[in-house]
Amino acid sequence: MNNKNLKSVIESLLFAWGEPLNINEISRILNLKPFVINETISDMMIEYTENSDRGLLIQKFGNSYQLTTKKDNFEFIQSLLQTSVNKSLSTAAMETLSIIAYKQPVTKVEIDLIRGVKSSNVIKGLLDKNLIKEVGKLDKPGRPTLYATTDEFLKHFGLVSISELPALNLESESDEEKKVT
């Protein structure tokens, strides 16, 4: 394998893995000595650093390397991630997430009663996205699970704490009727 191909393969491995990748693992995959991998990655790090137009860097963490984005681009990446989470959430998911955010800790039964439909699949999706978590069991028959939002929820919606959620304007029907009469 020539040097150009080696750099291409290493770059692909770092990109695909996403997390820091140990030099010994790269060496094993490519069937090359660790010093060859180290030299090649060192060259690549210089190339990435010297080309200031690039948005990526290779960073070393102990005996591992990771392909990362430039810190200068953080605000744009953060905006993209927030947008993609919001876009990837269905109306049902946003509705369920709102209920959990405002009423936490809350059970699935309470969510279902407010929404008027079953929420099992939506809750599973929110758990998978790490936007909500199980925070305990209610001391009632059946011991229903209690759900609350996560730090990931705060991060994705740009909140420091739940107290930053907009206040709910819940006027009762009697208040509405008084205004009409």
Cis peptide before 105 (omega within 30 of 0): yes
pLDDT score of 82: 65
Assigned CATH topology for domain 77-167: Arc Repressor Mutant, subunit A (1.10.10)
Using left for φ > 0, alpha for ψ between -120 and 50, and beta otherwise, residue 18 falls in left
pLDDT tens-digit map of 14-40: 998 878 899 999 999 999 999 999 999
Entry pTM: 0.49
Percentage of the chain modeled with pLDDT above 90: 48
Does 150 or 50 have the greater pLDDT score? 150
As a whole number, mean pLDDT of residues 86-92 equals 76
Task: Name the average pLDDT for the chain.
Answer: 86
Summarised one tens digit per residue, pLDDT across range 49-82 is 887 788 888 988 888 898 888 888 888 877 776 6
84, containing H or E segment: helix 74-88
> From CA 52, how far away is CA 30, in angstroms rounded?
29
Report the DSSP pairing between strands 56-61 and 64-69: antiparallel
Neighbour order of strands in the sheet with 132-137: 106-107, 145-149, 132-137
Per-residue confidence (pLDDT) for residue 174, from 0 to 100: 47
In this prediction, residue 87 has a pLDDT band, given cuts at 50, 70 and 90, of: low
Residue 8 pLDDT greater than 60, yes or no:
yes
- Range list for CATH 1.10.10.10 in the chain: 3-69, 77-167
pLDDT number for residue 4: 78
Name the CATH topology of 3-69. Arc Repressor Mutant, subunit A (1.10.10)
Average confidence (pLDDT) over 112-119: 92
Q: From the CB of residue 59, how many other CB atoms can be counted at a distance below 10 Å?
A: 13
- Rama region for 116: left / alpha / beta (φ>0; ψ in -120 to 50; rest): left
